[in-house]
Structure 1
């Protein structure tokens, strides 16, 4: 699977804070992005913003719920595993497909990947990317280059 195009320039240059940003209409694809300050509560806010946007796009409830889970997990990973100052979340929809991309500043300890053997039953963490993998058609990681961050993306059926 070919990774999606990079986050739109307007999203990449968005000021820090939770702000709805760029609407891009390219052919039959609609995209919106928002920037987040990585702090407790940002994942919940990203989930609420994503669900509201997807409702506005008339995306079905099952796809909205799956997307909210993916957004929450990817934003949480960016908060917990990087020293980012800003996280950008982008949602794009085209007929039958919903793409979610979360970019951090890339100050983490490596490329995100699901736990090989899965987390222990008592672990509170370690299931995020396994959940993303389970609800997505495809997902991946794109290194944006030195100092430019990492983008983790997932595609779902809309």
Structure 2
């Protein structure tokens, strides 16, 4: 795992870390996210929402791609946090939220991301995909009012 942080104009901060696609990586990503955002004085609700988003995106990269490395990036912008998770691709298509039946145990990760984020999307990155989400930095709710 590697991490680096920097400040840009306006006090914006970024950190990135790399994870191996193995059991425990989503948990590690949640903890690294909480630790970093806590150091940036992010409020508890925003920190927990970010940890949820990172966990879901990392889990998707592990489950749905053959990546050997997953890169997570957290960047602040005025009033918001931008999360990006990049994989090496080799998956099956572009990630989309799936409507699942009440008895299904898996497949709701992107619905959760959509619920707590003000915006999210997917972009191609060579090689692979980057799935990103934006969240309010201090309180607030996602696009669906959760």
Taking structure 2 as the reference length, the TM-score comes to: 0.90
Residue of structure 2 aligned with 1:107, choices 90, 93, 115: 90
- Aligned residue pairs total 136
Residue of structure 1 aligned with 2:44, choices 56, 61, 66: 61
The answer to whether residue 83 in structure 2 is matched with residue 120 in structure 1 is: no
Q: How big is the shift at 1:123?
A: 0.9
Taking structure 1 as the reference length, the TM-score comes to: 0.84
Alignment gaps of 5+ in structure 1: 1-17
What is the rounded CA distance, in whole Å, between the counterparts of 1:41 and 1:53 in structure 2? 18
- The alignment partner of 1:49 has SS state of helix
| Aligned CA-pair RMSD | 0.9
Q: Give the stretch that moved more between structures: 32-41 or 118-127.
A: 118-127
The answer to whether residue 6 in structure 2 is matched with residue 24 in structure 1 is: yes
- The alignment partner of 2:100 has SS state of coil
Residue of structure 1 aligned with 2:18, choices 28, 35, 40: 35
Q: Which runs of 4+ in 1 moved over 2 A?
A: none
- The alignment partner of 2:114 has SS state of helix
1:78-114 Cα deviation digits (max 9, x unpaired): 0000000000000001221001000000110110010
Residue of structure 2 aligned with 1:141, choices 122, 137, 146: 122
Q: How big is the shift at 1:25?
A: 1.9
Residue of structure 2 aligned with 1:130, choices 107, 111, 117: 111
Alignment gaps of 5+ in structure 2: 138-146
- The alignment partner of 2:72 has SS state of strand
Residue of structure 1 aligned with 2:79, choices 83, 88, 96: 96
- The alignment partner of 1:98 has SS state of strand
